[in-house]
A and B are shown apart, each in its own frame.
Chain A
Amino acid sequence: MRVRSVCLAMVMGLVGCGRGTRDGRVHITYWEKWTGFEADAMQRVVDRFNASQTGITVHFMSISGIGRKLLMATAGGNPPDVAGIWSSSLPTYAEHGALVGLDEYCRRAGIGAEDYVPIVWRICQYEGRTWGLPSTPGSTALIWNKEMFRRAGLDPERPPRTIEELDEYAARLTRYDERSNLVHLGFLPTEPGWWNFAWIYYFGGQVWDGTNRILYDTPAGLAMFRWIASYTERYGLNALQQFSAGFGNFASPQNAFLAGKVAMVLQGVWMHNFIEKYAPGLEWGAAPFPAVDGVDPPVVYTEADVLVIPRGAKHADAAFEFIRFVQRPEVMEELCLGQLKASPLRRVSAGFFARHPHPYLGVFYQTMWSRRAFSTPALPIHDEVVREVNIAVDLVRLGQVSPEAAVQQVQRRAQRALDRLLRQRARRREGVGRLSCESSEVGQR
């Protein structure tokens, strides 16, 4: 008898994953990629939301590898009600019909472009529709080590303002020991190399024309790859490889910038936290990352964390209520303060900057407003473009391929992916080949 009831309880436990609503509230799940203090900050917002009303309870869950899990959960018809994704994956999800459109919700809630820093609002759009609303933005800047500037005889308060100047600074900041091994570098385009695809913007170009053409085979694309090659030529491949083999993990004191091995990097607003944690004494500055001479105003790479409602969510309305709550100025500011980031909102209270511990928050917030602020292009094949650029950069950096060949390779591969996407779209629009594939109805449920 006891065995049977234990079995029953186990089966109930397995089956009964759905949350009961005995308390009369709608229970919704919220998957988020953050861990640590960023998750804590969001948890506080969730607690505040749950306490602020009686209709909805949000269950916050920190999920590792959220991209793939969300994908599978959505395809399987059992997604969370709210998910926090990176803005760079929003176009892919939207293109594949995996998100609930938010236009109608936003209209009813009176939320619109006028509430946000323009680039942040653009990030939430795909093909003219709104698919998510921001949680916190992450803009980037040139971050430099003032002490290394001083030792090289440079003014620590005056960062380079053009790429040409950056290269000149880099040369002056580089040191060799008596056996001509590198001691430290001024700058290295591939350290940490997270956004190789983005360099083209700093040379006045862009990834694609917005309709049907990839634009790496342009003067800007070529200039970008030549620039990367020039750093290998300057330092020497062997010396560089030996030297960079000693770079540790990003989130560690052995991080090349934190360890004083590289004097300047392109990094995000979050770098402050890592400096505080792993190199507390480091004297640093932040300024808009320089672009090639003549490109003005500042080119600023910006991403954002975005809250979306996956298609198939059981409580989309309740989910939007929560997303809407996060957009309230006072809530948003609390979240951004907790995560030590700038605000995505157009209007920021006077106290926000005063209370914020980030010493260069103004730089990161102001530069997001630049007309040349850009984010991941709204391309569902962006991951493929990024991969092609990364591979080409790798080969150029290693001297395996000339910049000219690299440009051609990226252009060919990325254009091929774009053409495929356009073909898929055309096929969908025309409904050609609609021979149903019944085993894959999952997607539609």
Chain B
Amino acid sequence: MTGRTWRKVRNGLLFTLPWTVGLLGFIVYPVVASVYHSFCDYSVLRPAVWIGLGNYVDLLQDEVFWIALWNTVVFAVVALPLGIVTAIGLALLLNTKVRGVVVYRTIFFIPSLVPMVTLAMLWMWIFNGRYGILNYVLNGVMRWLHLPWEAPGWLLDPHWAKPALILMGLWGCGHAVVIFLAGLQDIPETLYEAAEIDGANRWQKTWHVTLPMLSPVIYFNLIMGIIGTFQVFAVPYIMTGGGPGRATLFYTMAIFQFAFEDLRMGYASAMAVILFLIIVGLTWLATRVSRGHVHYGGL
């Protein structure tokens, strides 16, 4: 290596040093340590004691683990497709050539700028059984239609708490909408023209041109969505704390409880490792299933 290239390498390393140190210290080390501790009985305050697969065996017999996993899976299975379909729908609408479309785009994006905690507090009021605006409207409609039902207590009702959280999740789909919009605008006009010449109607154009061309973006949003829904934490933590009962105890909330309330770091680490494996597995599955359905740039 000549002096000059060495200097270049050195400078390069120096410039990336802060990032490298951060990566090693704050990401690599914690990940490795938590994998290690998942095989230990570890309370943070006392030295860890190696117990092999003890935590994993315990977890499989722990109903709380299964409840948290079930809640998360239900949440993901409903919230994820719902979110993607809604976002695509909105993106398609916002991609039409109408007057003031920029204003509409902004309006739909603005909610996703609201900070998570504010959002949670706001929705707690919206869902409030007695004074919430949602029930005010719902009950009004039911009375108007002379229906005998009454709107549920949402967050206070074990059957409605999860659906409530899923519904409010749609509030933040603005990010996905923007990504879909960018994807839509990337689709060459020539494809639509060709389709039109072949006599395709609007629906056929959407189904045979737009969606295939959009598939890489859908795929991206799907993967991000899987990761996001399996890590849902802040909003339910603030709004329900996992209740009522354990109806909204999601996976990461259970990890938090075990780690920081019960001082069972090893147990929580084991749960985190399992979550990692689940996400890797699902991502692999999504890649596998979408192979042949994802078209990159029409190639």
With A and B bound together, what is the CA distance between A434 and B157 in angstroms? 47
Known contacts A384-B262, A440-B42, A433 near B49 by CB under 8 Å = yes
With A and B bound together, what is the CA distance between A434 and B48 in angstroms? 9
Residue of A nearest to B41 (CB): A424
For A401, the chain B residues whose CB sits under 8 A away are: 245
With A and B bound together, what is the CA distance between A400 and B44 in angstroms? 37
For A75, the chain B residues whose CB sits under 8 A away are: 44-45
For B44, the chain A residues whose CB sits under 8 A away are: 71-72, 75, 96, 442-443
A234 near B: Cβ within 8 Å? no
Residue of B nearest to A92 (CB): B263
Residue of B nearest to A440 (CB): B48
B86 near A: Cβ within 8 Å? no
Q: Is the CB of B131 within 8 A of A435?
A: no
Minimal beta-carbon separation of B77 from chain A (angstroms): 23
B229 near A: Cβ within 8 Å? no
Known contacts A242-B130, A245-B128, A395-B245, A440 near B47 by CB under 8 Å = yes
With A and B bound together, what is the CA distance between A443 and B37 in angstroms? 13
For B33, the chain A residues whose CB sits under 8 A away are: 439
Minimal beta-carbon separation of A131 from chain B (angstroms): 14
Q: Is the CB of B47 within 8 A of A238?
A: no
Known contacts A246-B130, A398-B244, A439-B33, A68 near B260 by CB under 8 Å = yes
With A and B bound together, what is the CA distance between A441 and B48 in angstroms? 8
Q: Is the CB of B130 within 8 A of A243?
A: yes
Q: Is the CB of A439 within 8 A of B49?
A: no
B36 near A: Cβ within 8 Å? yes
For B50, the chain A residues whose CB sits under 8 A away are: 433, 435, 437
For A245, the chain B residues whose CB sits under 8 A away are: 128-132, 153, 156
With A and B bound together, what is the CA distance between A68 and B257 in angstroms? 12
Contact among A92, A394, A439 with B245 in the assembled complex (CB-CB below 8 Å):
A394
With A and B bound together, what is the CA distance between A384 and B231 in angstroms? 23
Q: Is the CB of A242 within 8 A of B153?
A: yes
**Chain B, 139-159, contact with A by CB distance < 8 Å: what is the 0/1 string?**
000000000001001001110
With A and B bound together, what is the CA distance between A75 and B48 in angstroms? 12
A54 near B: Cβ within 8 Å? no
Q: Is the CB of A241 within 8 A of B157?
A: yes
How many residues of chain A have a CB within 8 Å of chain B? 44
With A and B bound together, what is the CA distance between A246 and B131 in angstroms? 7
B46 near A: Cβ within 8 Å? yes
A148 near B: Cβ within 8 Å? no
Q: Is the CB of B153 within 8 A of A400?
A: no
Residue of B nearest to A396 (CB): B245
With A and B bound together, what is the CA distance between A103 and B3 in angstroms? 67
For A413, the chain B residues whose CB sits under 8 A away are: 63-64
With A and B bound together, what is the CA distance between A416 and B121 in angstroms? 35
Q: Is the CB of A394 within 8 A of B244?
A: yes
Minimal beta-carbon separation of B39 from chain A (angstroms): 9
Q: Is the CB of B45 within 8 A of A74?
A: yes
Minimal beta-carbon separation of B101 from chain A (angstroms): 40
With A and B bound together, what is the CA distance between A413 and B46 in angstroms? 24
For A424, the chain B residues whose CB sits under 8 A away are: 41
Known contacts A245-B130, A394-B244, A238 near B261 by CB under 8 Å = no
For B40, the chain A residues whose CB sits under 8 A away are: 437, 440
B210 near A: Cβ within 8 Å? no
Minimal beta-carbon separation of B52 from chain A (angstroms): 8
A383 near B: Cβ within 8 Å? yes
Q: Is the CB of A441 within 8 A of B51?
A: no
Q: Is the CB of A96 within 8 A of B262?
A: no
Q: Is the CB of A238 within 8 A of B150?
A: yes
Known contacts A242-B153, A245-B153, A436-B47, A394 near B36 by CB under 8 Å = no
Minimal beta-carbon separation of B194 from chain A (angstroms): 58
B243 near A: Cβ within 8 Å? yes
For B283, the chain A residues whose CB sits under 8 A away are: none
Q: Is the CB of B129 within 8 A of A241?
A: yes
A342 near B: Cβ within 8 Å? no
Residue of A nearest to B32 (CB): A439
Known contacts A238-B150, A241-B157, A394-B243, A97 near B46 by CB under 8 Å = yes
A391 near B: Cβ within 8 Å? yes
A444 near B: Cβ within 8 Å? yes
Q: Is the CB of A443 within 8 A of B47?
A: yes
Residue of A nearest to B129 (CB): A245
Given contacts A395-B245, A439-B36, A442-B44, could you give 8 more A-B pairs where the C-beta distance is less than 8 Å?
A: A92-B263, A96-B44, A98-B45, A242-B129, A400-B158, A400-B245, A437-B47, A444-B47
A residues engaging B (CB < 8 A)? 68, 71-72, 74-75, 92-93, 96-98, 238, 241-246, 381, 383-384, 387, 391, 394-395, 398, 400-401, 413, 417, 420, 424, 427-428, 433-437, 439-444
Jot down 5 A-B pairs with beta carbons below 8 A, ordered by A: A245-B129, A391-B243, A439-B33, A442-B44, A443-B45
B residues engaging A (CB < 8 A)? 33, 36-37, 40-51, 58, 63-64, 128-132, 150, 153, 156-158, 243-246, 257, 260-263
